[in-house]
Structure 1
Amino acid sequence: MTMAERIRTKIESGLQPLRLEIINESHKHMGHGGYHPSGESHFKLVVVAAAFAGQSRVNRQRAVYALLADELADTLHALALSTLTPDEDAASEQKSEQ
C-alpha cells in the first residue's frame, strides 16, 4: 500500500470527510532533509469534515496527526494541512468564485 493510500484509509476511517485531497509534494523536496527515496515523504492534505465543527485549527491538526502517527514515525516527514468544516469549505468556494 502506498503512503497516499495509507493516508486516505486512515483519514476516511477516522474523520469520514466530505472531501479529501491528498497531494504528494515530495518532488519539491528532493535532496532536502526528510526526503525519502520512495518519493512519498511530503504531502499536502485538504480535509473537509463535519467532525471539525467547534474545534480550533490546532485541535483539527492534532486530530489528523494522531490518525497518522504510525506514518509519521515511518517515511512520512511533512504534512501541510488545510482542515475545514463543510460550512467553511462552502464559504471558501463562494469567495473564490467572486
Structure 2
Amino acid sequence: MNPDTIKSLIQQRLPDALVEVLGEDGTHFEALIVSPAFVGLSLIKRHQMVYDALGDRMREEIHALSLRTLTPEQAQQIRHPAVH
C-alpha cells in the first residue's frame, strides 16, 4: 500500500475533499482530509467515512492510519487564525 493509493480511495468516496497522505513504510500512514461532507458530523463519524472508503484494506494492508479530518471552515481557521 502506498500514500497515493490511499489518497485515491478516499477521494473516490469524498470527491470534493482535499486529501494529503504521508507514509514511507507501506503500513503506517498519516492523512489530512478537508471536506465539506464533514460539516455537522462528529469526529467519530468523519473517521468512519474515511474507514469506509478504505474498506478491508484497513484490516489487511494498513497497520496504522492517523487521521486529521477537518471541514473547510476549520482548515481556514488553522491557516488564518483570528487575531485577538
Q: What does the per-residue CA deviation read over 1:15-70, in whole Å, with 9 as the maximum and x for residues that have no partner?
A: 1244211011x5xxxxxxxxxxxx21010000000110110011000111111122
Instruction: Report how many aligned residue pairs link the two structures.
Output: 83
Identity %: 29
* Paired position in structure 2 for 1:45: 31
- The structure 1 residue matched to 2:69, chosen from 67, 70, 83, is 83
Bigger shift: residues 5-14 or 54-63: 5-14
TM-score, structure 2 as length reference:
0.86
Aligned residues: CA RMSD: 2.0
Indicate if the aligned counterparts of 2:16 and 2:35 stay in contact, CA closer than 8 A: yes
Query: 1:3 deviation in Å?
Result: 2.6
Q: Which amino acid aligns with 2:50?
A: V
